[in-house]
């Protein structure tokens, strides 16, 4: 199972994608978890009374906390290229939820434009893995 999660190609294409996507989600995650960069912080974020898009997502504070941690942990994993597919999966889930929440407005600042772009980058990393210069690549090379 670990071999499948860390398997990756020898392409360098994923490196700029990983660095950009990881930095974006680390930034957003630290806003929500730690209150960095003028973010709300954990207590304020998880106590938001905003509607969640699906009725099974109750209580709100658990799902908002899961989204914040998914952004932070997913961003770190993607940036490092460690279990890149796991990190990308966390981001994909969060972005699908964001798209559903912001639907049907398309253009920024309150539309699905940015979540769709970030979903695309996370899907590319989910499919391709970490690529060159990733911890996944080092781990998979060590087993051969």
Cβ-based neighbours of 19, under 8 Å, separated by 6 or more: 79
Question: Is pLDDT of 142 > 80?
Answer: no
Name the band, by pLDDT with cuts 50, 70 and 90, for residue 144.
very low
Calpha distance 41→31 (Å, rounded): 6
Q: What is the pLDDT of residues 32-88, one digit of tens each?
A: 999 999 999 999 998 886 656 667 777 888 888 999 999 999 999 999 999 999 999
Q: What is the pLDDT of residues 9-37, one digit of tens each?
A: 888 999 999 999 999 999 999 999 999 99
The pTM score is 0.90
> Which is more confident, 64 or 92?
92
The pLDDT value given to residue 125? 96
Beta-carbon neighbour count of residue 34 at 10 Å? 13
Calpha distance 19→26 (Å, rounded): 10
Name the band, by pLDDT with cuts 50, 70 and 90, for residue 94.
very high
Q: Six-digit token pair at 96?
A: 């699908």
Q: What is the pLDDT of residues 109-127, one digit of tens each?
A: 889 999 999 999 999 999 9
Calpha distance 132→10 (Å, rounded): 5
Beta-carbon neighbour count of residue 86 at 10 Å? 16
Neighbour-count burial for 52-72, b at 16+ CB within 10 Å, e otherwise: beeeeeeeeeebbbbbbbbbb
């Amino acid at each position: 199972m670990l071999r499948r999660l860390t398997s990756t190609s020898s392409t360098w294409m994923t490196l700029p994608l990983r660095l950009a996507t990881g930095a974006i989600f680390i930034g957003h995650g630290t806003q929500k978890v730690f209150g960095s960069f003028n973010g709300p912080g954990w207590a304020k974020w998880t106590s938001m009374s905003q509607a969640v898009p699906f009725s099974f997502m109750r209580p709100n504070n658990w799902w908002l906390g899961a989204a914040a941690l998914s952004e932070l942990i997913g961003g770190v994993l993607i940036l490092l290229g460690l279990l890149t597919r796991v990190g990308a999966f966390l981001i994909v889930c969060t972005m699908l939820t964001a798209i559903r929440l912001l639907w049907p407005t398309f253009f920024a600042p309150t539309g699905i434009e940015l979540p769709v772009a970030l979903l695309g980058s996370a899907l590319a990393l989910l499919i391709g893995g970490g690529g060159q210069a990733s911890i996944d690549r080092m781990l998979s090379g060590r087993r051969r």
